[in-house]
């Protein structure tokens, strides 16, 4: 699904190379593992609460706006590096966690569709849940590795102005997502 995580993956892969996607998925996977465990232990009703959704949505909107601002601010001096900077991979794991958290529909997906998958896979015991989770993460890893690889390898064919335009479009998408999530969060508070 196109969203903040994909936008961040494109942005980071253009700067840091292929490893950006897999490292961000590592962070995403760590967060999802914690969420799966929490859902099994009974967190689902809490996450369905309108106030909780509103807080998640507004927090996500703030993080996305902060990221977009940083991307916009860097545009005038942004240069396309032909060699990737793979030295700061730890930051990518945190980025993967933050981009997952920044999308309120990530938690809604897990409380609805994801929870349904967990309930179904629990009929096969812990092994069923593990197989579901591993399959889910492997699908994420495969997709974001392809995206990351394509961006990292494709930059040899992109000029600096085109690169700045791509990053500007990604930043605009983050602003759109932030506004949408912010509106969704405010809307939940007005319904309470």
- Chain segment 88-128, per-residue pLDDT in tens: 556 999 999 999 988 777 877 787 788 888 888 888 989 99
Q: Is 174 contained in some domain?
A: yes
Beta carbons within 10 angstroms of residue 149's beta carbon:
17
Answering whether pTM is above 0.75, one says no
Number of independent structural domains in the chain: 1
Q: Is 191 contained in some domain?
A: no
Q: Is 97 contained in some domain?
A: yes
Q: Is 120 contained in some domain?
A: yes
Q: Is 181 contained in some domain?
A: yes
Q: Is 10 contained in some domain?
A: yes
pLDDT score recorded for residue 11: 86
Each residue of 120-152: pLDDT tens digit?
888 898 999 999 999 999 999 999 999 999 988
What residues make up the domain containing 22?
4-185
- Give the mean pLDDT of 75-84: 70
Q: Is 37 contained in some domain?
A: yes
Q: Is 113 contained in some domain?
A: yes
């Amino acid at each position: 699904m196109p969203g903040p995580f994909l936008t961040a993956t494109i942005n980071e892969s253009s700067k840091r190379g292929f490893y950006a996607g897999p490292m961000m998925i590592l962070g995403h996977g760590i967060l999802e593992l914690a969420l799966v465990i929490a859902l099994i232990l009974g967190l689902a009703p809490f996450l369905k609460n309108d106030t909780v959704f509103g807080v998640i949505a507004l927090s996500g909107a703030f993080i996305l706006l902060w990221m977009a601002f940083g991307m916009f601010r860097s545009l005038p001096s942004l240069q396309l590096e032909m060699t990737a900077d793979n030295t700061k991979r730890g930051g990518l794991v945190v980025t993967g966690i933050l981009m997952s958290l920044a999308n309120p529909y990530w938690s809604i997906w897990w409380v609805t569709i994801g929870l349904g998958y967990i309930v179904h896979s629990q009929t096969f015991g812990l092994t069923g849940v593990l197989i579901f989770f591993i399959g889910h993460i492997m699908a994420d890893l495969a997709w974001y590795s392809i995206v990351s690889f394509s961006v990292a390898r494709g930059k040899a064919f992109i000029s600096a102005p085109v690169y700045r335009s791509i990053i500007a479009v990604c930043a605009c998408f983050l602003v759109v997502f932030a506004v949408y999530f912010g509106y969704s969060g405010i809307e939940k508070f007005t319904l309470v």
